[in-house]
Amino acid sequence: MPNTSKNPQKNTPAPAIRAYLGGSFDPVHDGHLQMAMTVYQRLLPIAKQQQRALHVSLLPNARSPFKEKSTDPKHRLAMLKLATLHTPLQINELELWQTPPVYTIDSVRTLRQHYPNDSLIFIIGMDSALSLSKWKNGLELTDYVNLWVFNRENLSDINNNKNNRLLATTTHCANKTLVAQDAMNLHAQLPAQLQSLRIDAPIDLLQPTSQASTDSRLLKNTHQGHIYIDSRPIATISSTQIRQQLQPTDNRSNIISAATRQMTSIAPIDDIIDNTAPNPLAKWLNPAVYQYIIAHQLYSAAQFR
């Protein structure tokens, strides 16, 4: 018997929630996963309450326009798959196989075109938010997506602030006051054009999206995106620093010996798992990713011959 319901929208699923963390992931490390998982864990209860699908994805780029070299995409994708194997995180290959340079503004336009009714969130660090004016049309990102901005701090900064934050969090009230003050301080640093877009809670990023225009000239939504500043510090672990630590420093011009030395001098995988490796940065690598790097001699001089 045909469905004669006069409400065809009744069975239409609610718009999904989609969050993306972009980067070269060269290599992917726990700092990346910490940011993505924080967003996932904060949004999951809201998604369940609103009966909406939740997708949090890592968005690897083909090659950053700010970097001269980048590891082969197939290796970066393989490491991402290993790192996310036992997590709810997904991998979106939208940018990975495009001819570089690929710009974020083009990607968010494409995502908005693909998902006109979904809540789209782009995850960045405060360092990136402060430099959006230097990106290609960076200040226009909020025409297509919301921004979730993390206060990324260096490990030394986190250690220096640890005691102060511990004292401040002795009571729930003190902790809320500290977070609010941090958020206001960070808000004041945003580009002037974006300061009015700040909201106080992640749920405010998930307001229903009006139907986007199908006109290619008007891909943005009829409402302005918003910015949520997550003032809890996330450690800034630089992939560049990890690569430097993994690459032998002496006789770099000797390609063959450099690769050989990497295989013999790199910290054993058991030391990484047991958290006893002398290189503190390597501890931020998933053990399977670390083993992949060793097996494929990545980040040695031989990689770029």
Provide the pLDDT confidence category of residue 172 given band limits of 50, 70 and 90.
very low
- Report the alpha-carbon distance of residue 178 to residue 174 in Å, rounded: 6
178 or 19: whose pLDDT is higher?
19
Q: Which of 143-152, 173-182, 235-244, 276-285 has the least mean pLDDT?
A: 173-182
Rg (CA), the chain: 22
DSSP 215: S
Could you count the other beta carbons within 10 Å of the beta carbon of residue 233? Answer: 18
Beta strands in 52-166 (DSSP E): 54-60, 90-91, 119-125, 146-153
If phi > 0 it is left, if psi is from -120 to 50 it is alpha, else beta; for residue 141 that is: alpha
Write out pLDDT tens, residues 258-304: 444 444 445 554 554 455 455 566 688 999 999 999 899 898 745 54
Q: Give percent above pLDDT 70 in the chain.
A: 65
Q: Supply the DSSP symbol for 65.
A: T
pTM of the prediction?
Answer: 0.78
Lowest mean pLDDT among 101-110, 197-206, 265-274: 265-274
pLDDT in tens, 215-269: 444 444 455 799 999 987 777 778 888 888 777 655 344 444 444 444 444 555 4
CB atoms within 10 A of CB 129: 21
pLDDT at residue number 289: 94
pLDDT bracket for residue 171 (50, 70, 90): very low
Residue-averaged pLDDT of the chain: 77
